[in-house]
Copies of this chain bind each other. A is one copy, B any other.
């Protein structure tokens, strides 16, 4: 069966304070990076899916993310799925 690679980005919603990002921003300023602002730190999740078609793989990626990988109260996500063409 074909294999697909799903790549999911999970970020805090715009209105939510990103405490980790703020902390890193302060550290960067201390190091002299004073042109950097608005740091947001999210998650980047990759996984492989065995599926009959890209559509089914997309469905699995979407459902899995929805059920487990993000917190709908404070986060949003986007994802893409591509066929893995050659074996490693």
Interface residues of A (CB under 8 A from B): 9-11, 21, 24-25, 27-28, 31, 33, 35-51, 60, 63-64, 67-69
Check A40–B46 contact: CB distance below 8 A: yes
Question: What's the dominant secondary structure at chain A's contact region?
Answer: strand
Check A41–B39 contact: CB distance below 8 A: no
Check B37–A48 contact: CB distance below 8 A: yes
Check A36–B47 contact: CB distance below 8 A: yes
The interface residues of chain B lying within 8 Å CB-to-CB of A35 are: 49-51, 60
Known: A42-B43, A44-B42. A24 touches B68 (CB 8 A): yes
Known: A27-B68, A31-B68, A60-B33. A47 touches B42 (CB 8 A): no
